Amino acid sequence: MSDIYELTEQQKEIQDLAWQIALRDIKPIRESFDEQEKFPWDVVKKMAAADLYSVYLPEAYGGMGGGLKEQVLVIEQLSRACGGIALAFAASGLGVLPILLLGNPEQRARFIPDLASGKKLAAFSITEANAGSDATATECTAKLDGEHYILNGSKTFVSNGEVAETYVVFATTNRSRGARGVTAFVVEKGTPGFGFGKKEHKMGIRANPTYQLDFTNCRVPVKNRLYKEGYGLFTAQTTFDCSRPGVAAQALGIAQGALDETMAYIRQRRQFGQPISSFQAIQHMMANCATQIEMSRALLYTTANAMDKYMLPVYKKAIDQNAIVYDVLQAGDGKRWTKESAMCKLSCSDTAMFVTNECVQMCGGIGYMRDFPVEKYMRDAKITQIYEGTNQIQRNEIAAMMIKELASATKPEAVAA
């Protein structure tokens, strides 16, 4: 990795700590855990003991007070060894963010400390069989009944499924209102009526369980509703604005890990009496991969720095004033991070797919084999173009924000100014 990013001493320490765990605890088991679709509980314990789950959360809730940059550094280093095992860290981040962003002070204090310590893992569940890219089609229902909502229906494709204790679940409280009828809830494992259905068998990230969640007359206390009724899709979008750089970091780590393994191989593999790294065709692939990775990393780190500069004072203000982060954001200048975070995910995930494909090619036949690590990187890379919104959806959102910006820049008063 290029040394042009001016990380602070603490960020370097966090990055190094994550890389040590990746080398010592993840690398030796990644193949077998992928093969057996086994969840890495021992690695989770090591990450918790090293305080990694706390690096990006506020001190008020047991965090270390860092931000997105610290989170991204950890995810990238873990994913350099294994994108699937790294998800035990990253998917919990996706589950904790809506609580941090849309939860009230009581909910933040109730749920975040156990997630910051790694004692519990979180998960995020918006997808359904008939509501993927289009979350307005949510069919799972939540009906108010006194002090509870009664949830019925199923959610699909939930990362950290079954291993997490704390689930942020989206259900419709008023189907006739479509997008404005969806509401977010925190549902704890063990709540009667909440069970786990099908476990998916996947192409990649196989060390992370992807489950269906089933709700049958599941009574969730009103105090577990995040923000107001009908604000579920705002909750999801605000979360994605802050979480997509995490997927980008996973993709970047996968790309870097694949290139590291490939570089080691091509220097010692000889054909036609010379190392294959001496062929210009191979050198151009290496150069393209390294350049692509560094371009994506520059975008990701720059965005994470900018987002932290903006968001960390917002978190502090919300905590100091006993307010909800989303309200503090709304009361501010209205800045949204939708475009920048989508660009990070788009760029890094396309880079991961490009680089891992090139790496398999550079390694030749061995690159295609299960007992050589490069094919796994390629399988793991693919999901980063799909989840938290496919890359088609990222492009839609980037374009929508560009058009919005253009419209506001060409308002008569803006032109006059």
Ligand X SMILES: Cc1cc2nc3c(=O)[nH]c(=O)nc-3n(C[C@H](O)[C@H](O)[C@H](O)COP(=O)(O)OP(=O)(O)OC[C@H]3O[C@@H](n4cnc5c(N)ncnc54)[C@H](O)[C@@H]3O)c2cc1C
Question: Pick the catalytic residue: 388, 397, 405, 413?
Answer: 388
- Cα 326 versus chain centre, distance: 19
Token readout for 45 is 């314990």
Token readout for 299 is 């975008």
Q: Annotated catalytic, 388?
A: yes
Q: At how many degrees (to 10) do helices 374-382 and 232-268 cross?
A: 160
152 forms part of the interface with ligand X (CB under 6 A)? no
CB of 392 to ligand X, least distance (A): 3
Binding ligand X (rule: CB under 6 A), the pick from 55, 81, 158, 299 is 158
210 forms part of the interface with ligand X (CB under 6 A)? yes
Binding ligand X (rule: CB under 6 A), the pick from 36, 133, 291, 408 is 133
387 forms part of the interface with ligand X (CB under 6 A)? yes
390 forms part of the interface with ligand X (CB under 6 A)? yes
CB of 173 to ligand X, least distance (A): 18
In the complex with ligand X, which residue's Cβ is closer, 125 or 166?
Answer: 125
383 forms part of the interface with ligand X (CB under 6 A)? yes
Token readout for 91 is 């998917």
Number of residues that bind ligand X (CB under 6 A): 22
In the complex with ligand X, which residue's Cβ is closer, 89 or 124?
Answer: 124
C-alpha to C-alpha distance for 413 and 402, rounded to whole angstroms: 19
C-alpha to C-alpha distance for 370 and 138, rounded to whole angstroms: 39
396 forms part of the interface with ligand X (CB under 6 A)? yes
354-373 footprint of ligand X as x/- string (CB under 6 A): --------------------
C-alpha to C-alpha distance for 33 and 26, rounded to whole angstroms: 10
- Cα 298 versus chain centre, distance: 18
Token readout for 194 is 């909440």
Q: Give the residue at shortest CB distance from ligand X.
A: 132
C-alpha to C-alpha distance for 76 and 143, rounded to whole angstroms: 40
**Which residues have a Cβ under 8 Å from the Cβ of 351 and sit 6 or more positions away?**
251, 252, 255, 292, 293, 295, 296
Q: Are the C-beta atoms of residues 351 and 370 closer than 8 Å to each other?
A: no
Binding ligand X (rule: CB under 6 A), the pick from 216, 392, 399, 414 is 392
CB of 160 to ligand X, least distance (A): 7
| Residue recorded with tokens 């399988």 | 379
Token readout for 235 is 């909750």
Query: What residues form DSSP beta bridges with 142?
Result: 151
* Residue closest to 59 by CA, chosen among 48, 67, 47, 71: 67
**Which residues have a Cβ under 8 Å from the Cβ of 108 and sit 6 or more positions away?**
60, 61, 99, 100, 319
In the complex with ligand X, which residue's Cβ is closer, 134 or 320?
Answer: 134
CB of 409 to ligand X, least distance (A): 25
Candidate ranges 76-84, 106-114, 346-354, 390-398; the one touching ligand X (CB under 6 A):
390-398
Binding ligand X (rule: CB under 6 A), the pick from 69, 108, 120, 202 is 202
Binding ligand X (rule: CB under 6 A), the pick from 132, 193, 195, 364 is 132
Binding ligand X (rule: CB under 6 A), the pick from 127, 212, 338, 384 is 127
Of residues 94 through 123, those in contact with ligand X by CB under 6 A are none
| Residue recorded with tokens 């577990």 | 224
CB of 154 to ligand X, least distance (A): 12
159 forms part of the interface with ligand X (CB under 6 A)? yes
Which active-site residues does the annotation give? Answer: 388
Catalog residues that contact ligand X under the rule CB under 6 A. 91, 124-127, 132-133, 157-159, 202, 205, 210, 383, 386-390, 392-393, 396
